[in-house]
Amino acid sequence: MATHLTEISDLPEEPTPEDANAWYAWLDDRLLETINGYRAKPDVLMRDARSGKSITQDYADRELLDMV
């Protein structure tokens, strides 16, 4: 079964917050959406955690190589 993933260009454009308080509210809303999403689907949280750990391990001790 194929699933349709929403393209970034398909997402509605949000207005840019105009001041620090608006940014705070916008970020707070996004954080709450993320937390609620992880609560609704804990398997997504585990997948994201494994992915983050893998990326961290892939880049471990590469600082000098990246500078070269």
Per-domain residue ranges of the chain = 20-58
How many whole angstroms separate alpha carbon 39 and alpha carbon 35?
6
- Tens of pLDDT along 6-33? 565 676 788 888 999 999 999 999 999 9
Which pLDDT tens digit goes with each residue over 27-67? 999 999 999 999 999 999 999 999 999 988 888 778 777 77
Collect all residues with Cβ–Cβ distance below 8 Å to 14 and sequence separation of at least 6. 26
> In a 3-state reduction of DSSP, which class is residue 60?
coil
